[in-house]
Chains A and B, each alone.
Chain A
Amino acid sequence: MSNPIDPNTKPLPIDTSYGMENRAIDHAFKIAFESQPPKAKVGKRVTVCAANELQPGQRRIVEVPPHSIGVFNIDGKFHAIRNVCPHYGAPLCQGSVHATHKPADVHQYEVALQGRVLRCPWHGWEFDIPTGKGLYDKNSRVMTYPVEVDAKGDIIVTV
């Protein structure tokens, strides 16, 4: 039998344009990479501890009723983030700190945010500590607080 194929072009299916703008995870990482520090604000200034008591990689959780706040030393810089996971209210700051993979091409693994990703101790959702950005969707974000080291060498969080 001869080749029966009719080489006529067929009507192309409507190409529902691919939603690049909806790539929530790229958006999340963009916010994390921009690393905007929390806005300065007027509030209660809380002394956490002396800066030299919190070494790189260490954390301390301070209770400032009604708030619970985790203070982290990441590579010599201090960050403060609310100790509540927006999912089920778990004590987020008790989670492990590690790296993650940023969005990459299929079957590519590119390590990113080394030492600054907090994984909730309950369900494992990931958050970028300096920005509080959830790394699993577009909008979720945990409150972060301005931190400074004062003249005496104490870590001060403004709540």
Chain B
Amino acid sequence: MANVPIIDCDIHPEATKENPLDPFVPESAREALRQGLGGAPGAGYSNPFGVTRRDAECKDPLKVGVDHLDKYGIHYGILQPPGMKVSLTLQIDAGNALARAWNDWQINTWLAADKRFLGSVCINLNDPAEAIKEIRRSGVHPQMVQVNVGGESRDLYGHRRYFPIYESMSDMNLPLCLHPGSEGSLDSATPVGRPSTYFEWHTAIPLTFQAHLISMVTEGVFEKFPKMKLVLCEGGIAWLCHTMWRLDKNFKALRSTTPWLRRAPSEYIFDHVRLTTQPLEEPAVPEQLLTIFEILHAERTLMFATDFPHWDFDEPNRTLPRATPPELKRRIFYDNAAELYGLPKLPATLPTTTSSRPVAVGVTA
């Protein structure tokens, strides 16, 4: 090539420790970048200050049994494994393999270690036939109590492509649990654009929940599968008052466009949908939550959750407003979940929450 002059149009330089980018970043932007504000869509959203509590971890079933279940007097703890997001796996066979792996991992490690742990079946929604096989394979384990999926999905969860999956879950009495999961990794996390910060993204999670719930109700999932139950986990609760009222209001005029709905939308919600508490909204006047509880029929629909060991963990002794009636507390802390998941009833005389007496942490037998 000696006689031919060359221009190379594609060479990739890298910044290194010896030749860093930092000195060229304006002082004013350095802290912002350190706080994760340089994120791009492919990277997803995570808490720049850490998703996990600094004083806790959730890696060893025996340690969690002591540090969390024993500490608070928790009778059962339902696992929400990372496998809830396998449906986002681009390659379908890999997604199927991961779903299977997360289920066997739960069964062989966590569920085997402590009977108080209950598992969630992970499935790959992109391969309904394999998802059904996996539900039938893993779902029979006595400690597997539900199927869980993330909020990000290719279609709204009322879409009929999911119906065969719902049919198999219904057959096995396994509820569907919707949990936040990488919203924004396929499309925007909001209908009108990508949030800039984790703060913005995390606050907007109920948008996805609303979209899926409205879809499932109006598309007739609960008419088609009368035994189907939906758990809305970690999506907040107060928004449901509005969504429910708006559904009922619109139903009066638009029912004819979904003629399979034979009851007011809110009635399907009360019968088929359960909510978990964490992260429970914290109004300046805590007692205002009691009105929300009343509107949402919390005595039937609300189930306690901590989100252990994440940063926005709700502490059992401090979560509900002080004025919450004891019977309602009992329903929220135990009975509603026990009824949904078919867990033993406990005698009414049993204390529903642990006393506020401090309990030694990390003590082993």
Which A positions have Cβ atoms within 8 angstroms of B?
1, 3-16, 18-19, 22-26, 87, 100-110, 119-120, 123-126, 134-137
Known: A5-B138, A16-B339, A102-B259. 18 other contacts (CB 8 A): A1-B104, A3-B137, A10-B144, A10-B342, A13-B339, A18-B271, A24-B262, A24-B264, A25-B263, A87-B252, A104-B260, A123-B252, A124-B252, A124-B254, A134-B252, A136-B255, A137-B252, A137-B264
Instruction: List the A side residues contacting B141 at CB < 8 Å.
Output: 4-6, 10
Instruction: List the A side residues contacting B267 at CB < 8 Å.
Output: 19, 22, 24
Q: Which B residues from 253 to 308 make CB contacts under 8 A with A?
A: 253-257, 259-264, 267, 271
User: Can you give 24 contacting A-B residue pairs, CB < 8 Å?
Assistant: A1-B104, A1-B108, A5-B137, A5-B140, A5-B141, A6-B142, A11-B142, A12-B342, A13-B341, A15-B173, A18-B226, A18-B271, A22-B263, A24-B264, A24-B267, A25-B262, A25-B263, A102-B259, A103-B259, A105-B224, A107-B220, A119-B253, A125-B252, A126-B256
Q: What's the Cα separation between A52 and B42 when bound, in Å?
A: 71
Known A-B contacts A13-B341, A124-B253, A126-B255; the reply to A19 vs B271 at CB < 8 A is: yes
From residue B318, how far is it (CB to closest CB) to chain A in Å? 30
Q: Would A101 and B259 count as touching, CB distance under 8 A?
A: yes
Instruction: List the B side residues contacting A135 at CB < 8 Å.
Output: 255-256
Cβ-Cβ contact count across A and B, 8 Å cutoff: 116
From residue A6, how far is it (CB to closest CB) to chain B in Å? 6
From residue A127, how far is it (CB to closest CB) to chain B in Å? 11
From residue A142, how far is it (CB to closest CB) to chain B in Å? 14
Q: What's the Cα separation between A123 and B224 when bound, in Å?
A: 29
Q: Determine the residue in chain A with the shortest Cβ distance to B338.
A: A14
Q: Would B259 and A104 count as touching, CB distance under 8 A?
A: yes
Q: Would B253 and A24 count as touching, CB distance under 8 A?
A: no
CB of B152 within 8 Å of the partner chain? no
Q: Would A7 and B253 count as touching, CB distance under 8 A?
A: no
From residue A111, how far is it (CB to closest CB) to chain B in Å? 9
Known A-B contacts A11-B342, A25-B261; the reply to A106 vs B251 at CB < 8 A is: no
Picked from A1, A4, A5, A25, the residue with its CB within 8 Å of the CB of B255 is: A25
Instruction: List the A side residues contacting B224 at CB < 8 Å.
Output: 105-106
Instruction: List the B side residues contacting A100 at CB < 8 Å.
Output: 255-256, 259
Q: Determine the residue in chain B with the shortest Cβ distance to A11.
A: B342
B: number of interface residues (CB 8 Å): 42
Q: Determine the residue in chain B with the shortest Cβ distance to A102.
A: B259
Instruction: List the A side residues contacting B226 at CB < 8 Å.
Output: 18
Residue with the highest number of chain A CB atoms closer than 10 Å, among B220, B255, B261 = B255
Give 5 closest A-B pairs by Cβ, nearest first: A124-B253, A101-B259, A106-B220, A13-B342, A136-B252
Q: Determine the residue in chain A with the shortest Cβ distance to B270.
A: A19
Known A-B contacts A106-B220, A136-B253; the reply to A14 vs B260 at CB < 8 A is: no
Q: Would B140 and A103 count as touching, CB distance under 8 A?
A: no
From residue B250, how far is it (CB to closest CB) to chain A in Å? 9
Q: Would A10 and B142 count as touching, CB distance under 8 A?
A: yes
From residue B261, how far is it (CB to closest CB) to chain A in Å? 7
From residue A21, how far is it (CB to closest CB) to chain B in Å? 10
Q: Mark B147-171, 1 if CB is under 8 A from A, else 0.
A: 0000000000000100000000000
CB of B219 within 8 Å of the partner chain? yes
Residue with the highest number of chain A CB atoms closer than 10 Å, among B141, B227, B262, B339 = B262
Q: Mark B317-357, 1 if CB is under 8 A from A, else 0.
A: 00000000000000000000001111110000000000000
From residue B173, how far is it (CB to closest CB) to chain A in Å? 5
Known A-B contacts A5-B137, A12-B173; the reply to A136 vs B251 at CB < 8 A is: yes
Q: Would A19 and B260 count as touching, CB distance under 8 A?
A: no
Q: Would B263 and A23 count as touching, CB distance under 8 A?
A: yes
CB of B127 within 8 Å of the partner chain? no
From residue A74, how far is it (CB to closest CB) to chain B in Å? 18
CB of B70 within 8 Å of the partner chain? no
Instruction: List the A side residues contacting B112 at CB < 8 Å.
Output: 4
Q: Would B262 and A103 count as touching, CB distance under 8 A?
A: yes
CB of B237 within 8 Å of the partner chain? no
Q: Determine the residue in chain A with the shortest Cβ distance to B267.
A: A22
Q: Mark B217-258, 1 if CB is under 8 A from A, else 0.
A: 001110110110100000000000000000000011111110
CB of B107 within 8 Å of the partner chain? yes
Residue with the highest number of chain A CB atoms closer than 10 Å, among B223, B252, B261, B339 = B252
Q: Determine the residue in chain A with the shortest Cβ distance to B108.
A: A4
Known A-B contacts A12-B173, A15-B173; the reply to A101 vs B256 at CB < 8 A is: yes
Instruction: List the A side residues contacting B219 at CB < 8 Å.
Output: 106-107
